[in-house]
Amino acid sequence: MQNEKEKFKENFIKRCIVFTIKILRFADKLKSNRVYWPIADQLIRSASSIGANIVEAKASSSRRDYLHFFEIALKSANETKYWLIVIKESDIEFRNEADSLLHEADELSRVIGSSVLTLKGKK
């Protein structure tokens, strides 16, 4: 059972990395329109923070610290969803790709949110 749990964690980290790479590529496309420069920068920050905080949690010194990193990752996932919705609703050119990324961000946030609830003993 422990082996499956560790495998899930490693796969989730890989999924976060792939998501960040997709966001980087998407943000590069956004930068063709100057209006999106600040949003693209913020999107990169929030999306890359998701996986970074999950990885950082692995080196936590306490359960409380571990939970804190997961809470930050969840906040970053929610911020990422916000920026993707703004892009999706404001520009038809980027709508489909933003929607696809939004779906993945939503799935990541659900997994992280579930972990936060488990860590808090509410699940």
Residue 105 corresponds to which tokens in the numbers above? 């961000």
CATH fold of 2-119 reads: de novo design (two linked rop proteins) (1.20.1440)
Model pLDDT, residue 30? 95
Length of the chain (residues): 123
pLDDT of residue 25 exceeding 60, the answer is: yes
State the pLDDT at residue 5: 85
Phi, psi of 12 (to 5 degrees): -65, -40
Residue 123's pLDDT band, with cuts at 50, 70 and 90, is low
* Confidence band of 3 (pLDDT split at 50, 70, 90): confident
Q: For the segment 28-75, what is each residue's pLDDT rounded down to a tens digit?
A: 999 999 999 999 999 999 999 999 999 999 999 999 999 999 999 999
Ranges of each domain in the chain = 2-119
Q: What is the 3-state secondary structure (H, E, C) of the chain?
A: CHHHHHHHHHHHHHHHHHHHHHHHHHHHHHCCCHHHHHHHHHHHHHHHHHHHHHHHHCCCCCHHHHHHHHHHHHHHHHHHHHHHHHHHHHCHHHHHHHHHHHHHHHHHHHHHHHHHHHHCCCC
Backbone angles phi, psi at 120, to 5 degrees: -85, -5
The confidence band for 111, taking pLDDT boundaries of 50, 70 and 90, is: very high
Question: What's this model's pTM, rounded to 2 decimal places?
Answer: 0.92
